[in-house]
């Protein structure tokens, strides 16, 4: 089994729910687990991960993994919102997976709302993490295509095309298919039949 995993998907693809379920199942089976999240993510409290469907678990919130040391008895490390960590934080997780023989399972976004890959996500690919895409459907009414992108909106409903990509929550975002992203972000009209 691979020691380093990256479970990625758009917002609302149940990444945090999957992490919480995995944490529960590992605990239930007697496997020592540590759950980590960036301290930047304080939407539901500093030391907690909460999914949109109401599942939650305790987590150790950290600004970086620079000084992180896994407990020697830990077998599995689960990392939520991994895209908010740095490339050097990912290298630290690689070291833990390879040198300490622990299973490291990361969960997060691949790209931001400007179609740019997050540096930590790119680093996970570069170091050969086993990739697991978590699917969801486009949030444009009536569309059932695979959601692959995010659109960010301002308070008036206009698409935001620049700015800080470290915004929390999903109230100003929609997960959309590539065709709707191109139509709404790049003003490229979809072909009609």
Rounded Cα distance between 123 and 85, Å, is 10
Q: How open is the CA angle 177-181-185, to the nearest 5 degrees?
A: 175
Tokens of residue 60, six digits: 């150790």
From the list 56, 81, 126, 183, the catalytic residue is: 81
Q: Is 56 a catalytic residue?
A: no
CB 97, CB 85: distance < 8 Å: no
Report the greatest alpha carbon distance in the chain.
60
Rounded Cα distance between 59 and 38, Å, is 10
Q: Catalytic positions, please? A: 81
């Amino acid at each position: 089994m691979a020691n380093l995993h990256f479970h990625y998907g758009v917002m609302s693809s149940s990444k945090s729910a999957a992490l919480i379920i995995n944490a529960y199942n590992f605990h239930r089976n007697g496997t020592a687990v540590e759950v980590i999240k960036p301290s930047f993510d304080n939407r539901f409290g500093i030391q907690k991960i909460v999914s949109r469907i109401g599942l939650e678990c305790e987590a150790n919130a950290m600004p970086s993994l620079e000084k992180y040391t896994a407990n020697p008895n830990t077998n599995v490390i689960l990392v939520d919102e991994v895209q908010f960590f740095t490339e050097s934080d990912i290298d630290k997780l690689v070291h833990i997976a390879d040198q300490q023989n622990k299973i490291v399972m990361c969960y997060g976004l691949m790209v931001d709302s400007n179609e740019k890959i997050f540096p930590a996500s790119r680093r996970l690919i570069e170091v050969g993490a086993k990739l697991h895409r978590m699917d969801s459907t486009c949030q444009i009414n009536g569309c059932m295509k695979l959601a692959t992108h995010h659109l960010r909106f301002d308070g008036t409903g206009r698409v935001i095309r620049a700015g800080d990509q470290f915004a929390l929550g999903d109230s100003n975002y929609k997960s959309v298919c590539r065709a709707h992203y191109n139509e709404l972000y790049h003003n490229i009209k979809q072909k009609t039949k």
